[in-house]
Structure 1
Amino acid sequence: MSNLGSFIWSIADQLRGPYRPNQYGNVILPLTILRRLDCILEPDRDTVRKLAAKYDNPNRLQVEVKKATGRPFYNTSNYSFANLLADADGLADNLADYIDRFSPDVDVFEYFDFKKEILALDKADLLREVITEFKRIDLHPNAVSNADMGDAFEYIIRKFNEAANETSGDHYTPRDAIRLLVDLLFAEKDADLTEADIVRTLYDPTAGTGGMLALAEEHLLGQNPDAKLRLYGQEYNPQSYAICKSDLLAKGHDATNIAFGNTLTEDAFRGRQFDFCMSNPPYGVDWKQYAKAIKKEHDEAGPYGRFAPGLPSTSDGQMLFLLHLAHKMRAPEDGGGRAGIVMNGSPLFNGKAADPKKPNESSIRQWLLENDLVDAIIALPTSMFFNTGIATYIWILDNTKYPDRKGTVQLIDGSGFWTKMRKNLGDKGREISDGDRAKIVQLYTDYTDADPETSKILRTDEFGYWTVTVERPLLDDDGNPVVDRKGEPKPDTKKRDTENVPFTYGGSTAGDDGRAEVIRAYFDAEVMPHVPDAWIDWSKIKVGYEIPFTRHFYKYVPPRPLAEIDADLEKQVAKILDLLREVEQ
C-alpha cells in the first residue's frame, strides 16, 4: 500500500522489547508528523528565528511568519533534526524543547503525550537510534506528496492495529471508496466549480486522518487550480486528530478548522453550514454513553435542532450523523449544500412506523424524504472495507436539487462494479477501479432508469406506507359480539393485527393525502374477504418510510427443472455406491 509506510514500519521494529506492538504508534506516529513538519520548516528556519527575536507576541509573530514564508505555523527552537544528534547527552531535553516551541495552533503532540515517550525512549537507550533513522527520511512535500503521506499514515495505523489485534477500519476509509463519494458529491456542481477564484467549504464530522478532506481538495484543484477549498473537520480519536491536523498544517490550511471532540455531543462548528459535507461514520456502534446529552438536545433544541426528526436505537448511531450532515448543509437561500455519507444497510429499513411522540429511524427517513433531501443512494460492492465485508451504501443529500430530480430518489446498484485485488487487505478483497467509478458516476449523471438492473428513479412517496391496526370483535360465551356503552363492538386484543399499506397501493400518487381512500380500498380488497367482521381503528394509524433497496433490484431466478435435479442426484448416488464398493473390497 505504501513503500514509505513499509520503511517507517521497519523503524518500529527497533522498538521491540521495551515496547509492545500496541504501543508502537505512540512513538512512530508523532515522530513521523514531527519529521514531516521539520522538513517543511527547514528552508526558512533562520528567517523565523530572526522574526522570533523581534516579536514577542505569538499572534503578531504568526502574522509576520505568514507574510515571510506563506505558512500559518512556525517553530522558534534552536533545535531541529539537523542538529539534534550533535548533543548526545542533551538529546531528550533538546527534543522536548523543539516540540514546545511550535506555534500555539500546533497542539498535535499533546494528543500523543509525546514528552512521556521521549523519556521512555531515552531510558531504553532507543532515542538516538530512532531519531537517526527518521533523520534519514526526506518528508518534504516536494519529495513525498500529500496523497503519499496520507497513504503512509494509514498504512502504519493499519499495521500497528493488526499487530495489536485491534480494529483498523475505524480509522480510515479506502481511497477507492472515497474517490467515488467525492466524484458523486461534486458531480452535480462540477460546472460551477470551474469558475475562476471560487471559494467553497467542505466539512467532515468524522474526519479520521483526513483522507476524505484530502481527496476532495485534490478533486477540486484538479478541475480548477485557482479554486480555494476551505476544509473543516472534527475527530474524537486523538491519534487520528493529530494526523489530520498536521496534514492540513503541511498544506497551508488554517489548522483551527480541525477540532478535537465528539461531534454528536459537542458540535465544534455550531451555527455554521457548509457547501459540501461528507462522512464515513462508525457502523453499528452504540451511543448509550452519550444518550443523556443527545436526548437532552433532541428534547430542548426544538423543531429546528439537528436531532429533531427522530432518534435511532442506541445500538447504532449512524443515522445521528446522517441528521447532523443534513443540518450542516448550507441553506437553499444561501446557495444550498450537498452531503455524502457511507453507511451500512440498516438505515434503509431499521425502525417501524412510529408514534409522532416517539420518532425513530422511520421518522428520520420520513423527514428526509418529505423534505426532498435524498438525491441518490448507491450500493457499493461487498468486501470493500478493511474490517468488514458487509454491504455498504453511499447516500447523497441535496437541498437544492435540479428541477428534473425534484421529488425523486435515484437508486443505483453499483455492487457489480468492482475489480478483484491481487492481495486482500484485511476483509478488503475488492476495489473500485477508475473505470468502475466512471461507470457508476455516469449512471448518476445520466439520471435514467433505462437500464432497470442498475438504476431506478422513484418518487419520494413510493417509500411511504401506513401501518393500519385491524380489529375484530370480542365474543361472549354464546358467540355474540361484546359491545361497550355506546353499543360499539369491543375489540379482541388477541385477534388484533396490523397491515402495512403502501402509499402507492392501487396506483395512487397522492402520498399521505390519499390516506382514507387508499386504506379503505386496501382494506376492502385485501382484508374483508378473509375476515368480514373486521374493522379499522383509524385512531391508531401510523406513517412509516423504508427504502427496500434489495427488493427493487431483486432478480428472480427460476428453480431448475425437477428432471435435471433428479439426474444430478442419480449421478451423486452412483458415485457414493462406487466408493462404498471400493471400501467393501
Structure 2
Amino acid sequence: MASQPALSSFIWAVADLLRGDYKQSDYGKVILPFTVLRRLDCVLDSTKPAVLAELAAKEKLGVNPAPFLSRITGRQFFNASPLDLKKLLGDPTHVATNLFAYIQGFSPEVRDIFEHFEFQTQIERLSKAGLLYQVTEKFCQIDLHPDKVSNADMGTVFEELIRKFAELSNETAGEHFTPREVIRLMVNLLFVEDDEVLAKPGVVRTLYDPTAGTGGMLSVAGEYLHEHNPKASLAVYGQELNPESYAICKADMLIKGQDVANIVFGNTLSDDGHPTKTFDYMLSNPPFGVEWKKVEREVRKEHQDKGFAGRFGPGLPRVSDGSMLFLLHLISKMRPATEGGSRFGIVLNGSPLFTGGAGSGESEIRRYVLENDLLESIVGLPTDMFYNTGIATYVWILSNRKPAARKGKVQLIDASGMWQKMRKSLGSKRKELSDAHIDRITRLFGHFEEASDHDADGSARPISRIFDNEDFGYHSITVERPLRGEDGKVVLGQKGKQKGKPQPDISLRDTENVPYKDDMAEYFKREVLPHAPDAWIDPDKTRVGYEIPFNRHFYVFKPPRPLAEIDADLKASTDRILEMIKGLSA
C-alpha cells in the first residue's frame, strides 16, 4: 500500500516537470485535477471491459445506457469512452484530443468536477508547452485505487497538496481546511450524547457543512460513525465557494458513494444551496475575520424582507467579520426539536464572544442564542492550532434538543493548555491535540460537571465551568447628571413632558452594564449614587446586552510576591551590575 508521504512526494515530483513553464503558484491547477483523474481512472479500471460490452448492447437496443453502466461499476459514475489513461499513451501525437474525449466519456457529475478545475485550459497549456505526454505518463505510474490508497489517506493527500500550493502562492490555506484532530474533537462532541441512538442498526442521519472545503469535516464524521456503528449511515451535504476545493470535495464524495447532488457550488451566505433542508448534525469552520461586503446587499435584503422567516432575523454582525452569519445560517438549518432536533459545532475566533455592545448585531445574535437556550458548550482551543493563523479559537456546540441537565445552562471548557508540540510546524500550526487530549475534552463535556487542574505550585486552575444562560446577560443603563447654569443651579425643562424636570448634561452622560441577575435600582443605589447623588437613569435608553467573557471566567489571580523579596532580588541584580562595571573599568 502506498504510504501517504510517499504518495505526496511522488505527486510533488510531477512539479519538477512543470518548473519553468509554470509559476509555482499554478502547479496545483495541473496536479490536483490529474490526481483526481488518476484516482477515478483506477477506480473504474476493473469494470472497464464490462462497461464497454454493456454500452454496445444497450446502444443496439436504442436504450439509455447510463443506469446500466452505473450498475456495472457499482458507483454513481462511469466512463463510456473506450480510452483510459494508459491507452492514451499509445498515441503520443494525439494525447490532447484523446484526453478531451476521455473526459467527455465520464458521466455528467464527473464532467462537472473537471469543469470546476478548468481542466481543459490546463490540457491546452500543457500541450502547447510539450509537457502533456510526460505529465500523463507520470500519473500512469502510480496506482491510486482505493485498495492501495484509502479514502482517508487520499483526503489527507489533497489537503497537504492544497496547503503546499497555497503556501507557494501566499494564499491562506486555512480557508481550505481544518486540522484533522480538531475535526475529530468536534465530531466527538457532536455524537457523544447520541451514542445509543447511533448504535441502532439501520440508523440514517444527515450531516451538513456550509463551508465544506475539500470535504474533510464530512469525511471524518463519516469515518467516526462507521467505526462506532458500521450499520449506521450518514448522508452528507455541503456547499463550497472555491471551485478547486469544490471539485475535490465532490470527487471525494463520489468515490465514497455519497450522493454528489448534495454538494453544491456557490456562496452559502448570498445563495443558499439547500434552501428548504434541515439537518441532524452540522459542522463548520467558516473563514475568520473575513468581511462580507461582497454579499452585503443580498444578506441585508434577506434580513430586512424576511426577518425571522429568513436566516438572519436576530441581527447582523459588522461587515468586517462574517463568521457570525454562518452561525445564524446553521441555526436556520437545525431540524425542528419536534422532529428530533439537531446539534452542530462551529469554529469561531474570539470576537463573536464579546464584540459589540448592547443592542449591536453581535450582541443581539448572542442574545438570540442564549435566550432560546441553544448553546451547550464553548471549548477554548490552544493558540497555533490552525495552518493560517496563530490566534485563539473556540468551538461552539449548539443544540435545540439539550438533555434535561443542560437546560438553561452553558458549559465553558478551557482546553487552551491541552496540546503537544508538533514535530514539524505546518504554516502557523505548531501545536496539536493528542488522542488523550481529545478524550479528556470529550469526557469533560460528556460528564457535564465543573473541573479543575492543579498547577505546578499546587494551586487549582478551573478547566470546566457551568453557568446559567442569564449569567452572560446585562442591562446597559444610561446614567444622566443634571445640566447646571453659570450660577451653578440645575437647568429645568421649559415645555412639554420635560417641563420642570432637570435637563441632562450630555458631557457627563455615562453608561453602566448591570448584570442581568442584579436588580437595577439596587445596583444604582449601591454603585452610582454614592459618587453622584444627583444622578438618574434614563429608562428609555436601557438596552439588553449579552457577552461571553470566556477568559475572565478562567482567570486565576496570583498574588504578587512580598515586597521584601522583590527588593532583595533587585538589590542582588544591582550589585551584580555594579561588579560587572567595576570589572570593565579595571
> Contact between 2:384 and 2:430, CA under 8 Å: does it hold in 1?
yes
Aligned to 2:514: 501
Aligned to 2:390: 389
Change (3 A) 1:450 1:386: closer
Give CA deviations for 1:342-392 in whole Å, capped at 9, x if unaligned: 0111100011101xxxx5000000000000000110011111111111110
Give the residue type in structure 1 aligned to 2:320.
S
Confirm whether residue 308 of structure 1 aligns to residue 321 of structure 2. Answer: no
- Report the alpha carbon displacement of residue 158 of structure 1 after superposing the two structures with TM: 1.1
- Which aligned segments of 4 or more residues in structure 1 are displaced greater than 4 angstroms? 54-60
**Paired residue for 1:489, among 502, 506, 518?**
502
SS, match of residue 303 in structure 1: helix
Provide the C-alpha distance between the structure 2 equivalents of 1:216 and 1:472, rounded to a whole number of angstroms: 58
**Paired residue for 1:162, among 151, 159, 167?**
167
- Report the alpha carbon displacement of residue 59 of structure 1 after superposing the two structures with TM: 11
Provide the C-alpha distance between the structure 1 equivalents of 2:387 and 2:286, rounded to a whole number of angstroms: 14
Confirm whether residue 456 of structure 1 aligns to residue 462 of structure 2. Answer: no
Give CA deviations for 1:89-146 in whole Å, capped at 9, x if unaligned: 0111111111112111121111121111111111212111111111111111110011
**Paired residue for 1:217, among 213, 219, 222?**
222
- Report the alpha carbon displacement of residue 17 of structure 1 after superposing the two structures with TM: 0.2
Give CA deviations for 1:399-443 in whole Å, capped at 9, x if unaligned: 011111111011111111111111111111111011110000000
Write out aligned runs for 1:17-32 (5 A): 17-32=20-35
SS, match of residue 306 in structure 1: coil
Give CA deviations for 1:185-208 in whole Å, capped at 9, x if unaligned: 111111110011110000000000
Provide the C-alpha distance between the structure 2 equivalents of 1:55 and 1:179, rounded to a whole number of angstroms: 46
Quick one: percent identity of the two aligned structures? 54
Aligned to 1:573: 574
Aligned to 2:36: 33
Change (3 A) 1:58 1:192: farther
Aligned to 2:288: 283
> Contact between 2:189 and 2:445, CA under 8 Å: does it hold in 1?
yes
- Report the alpha carbon displacement of residue 43 of structure 1 after superposing the two structures with TM: 0.9
> Contact between 1:2 and 1:155, CA under 8 Å: does it hold in 2?
no
Change (3 A) 1:460 1:61: farther
SS, match of residue 467 in structure 1: strand
Write out aligned runs for 1:110-259 (5 A): 110-259=115-264
| Cα root mean square deviation, aligned | 1.5
Out of 244-253 and 574-583, give the one that drifted further.
574-583
Out of 562-571 and 365-374, give the one that drifted further.
562-571
SS, match of residue 454 in structure 1: strand
Give the residue type in structure 1 aligned to 2:407.
K
Aligned to 1:81: 85
Confirm whether residue 343 of structure 1 aligns to residue 348 of structure 2. Answer: yes
> Contact between 2:44 and 2:73, CA under 8 Å: does it hold in 1?
no
Provide the C-alpha distance between the structure 2 equivalents of 1:267 and 1:391, rounded to a whole number of angstroms: 29
Gaps of 5+ in 2: 453-460
Change (3 A) 1:306 1:92: same
SS, match of residue 173 in structure 2: coil
Provide the C-alpha distance between the structure 1 equivalents of 2:346 and 2:107, rounded to a whole number of angstroms: 34
Aligned to 1:270: 275
SS, match of residue 307 in structure 2: coil
SS, match of residue 311 in structure 2: coil
Give the residue type in structure 2 aligned to 1:437.
I
Provide the C-alpha distance between the structure 2 equivalents of 1:218 and 1:62, rounded to a whole number of angstroms: 30
Give CA deviations for 1:321-354 in whole Å, capped at 9, x if unaligned: 0011111111111110111000111100011101
Write out aligned runs for 1:434-473 (5 A): 434-451=435-452, 453-473=462-482
Give the residue type in structure 2 aligned to 1:147.
A
Aligned to 1:509: none
Gaps of 5+ in 1: 506-517
Confirm whether residue 93 of structure 1 aligns to residue 97 of structure 2. Answer: yes
Aligned to 1:412: 413
> Contact between 1:200 and 1:228, CA under 8 Å: does it hold in 2?
yes
Change (3 A) 1:319 1:58: farther
Give the residue type in structure 2 aligned to 1:522.
Y
Aligned to 2:7: 4
